[in-house]
Amino acid sequence: MSDAPEPPSDAAESRAIELLRLVGSQTPSVSARFTAALVARARAQRAVAEPLRALGGLMAALAFAVSGAVQIARRERRR
C-alpha cells in the first residue's frame, strides 16, 4: 500500500484539493481594524442572542402549557 495520493477524478475535486493546499500554506494577515470589527460583531450578536434564547424558553413554556390545557379540555369533553 502506498501513501501516494490518487489523481483527482474530476476538475472540481482537483480545484478543491488545490484550494485546500493554498489555505494550508498561506496564513492571511489580520489587521487591527478587522479584529475590532469582529469583536464588536460578536458582542452585538451576544446582546441579541441571549434575550432571544430567553424569549424562546418563554415561548416553549407557553406552548407546553397550552398543549396541556388543550389535552385536559379534550379529556373533559370525552366524559
Looking at residues 50-68, what average pLDDT do you find? 96
Average model confidence (pLDDT) across the chain: 86
Buried b (16+ CB within 10 A) or exposed e, 11-49: eeeeeeeeeeeeeeeeeeeeeeeeeeeeeeeeeeeeeee
Looking at residues 29-55, what average pLDDT do you find? 91
Report the alpha-carbon distance of residue 58 to residue 79 in Å, rounded.
32
* Gyration radius of the chain's alpha carbons: 27
- pLDDT at 55 exceeding the cut of 90: yes
Close Cβ partners of 40 (under 8 Å, ≥ 6 residues apart): none
Q: pTM of the full predicted structure?
A: 0.47
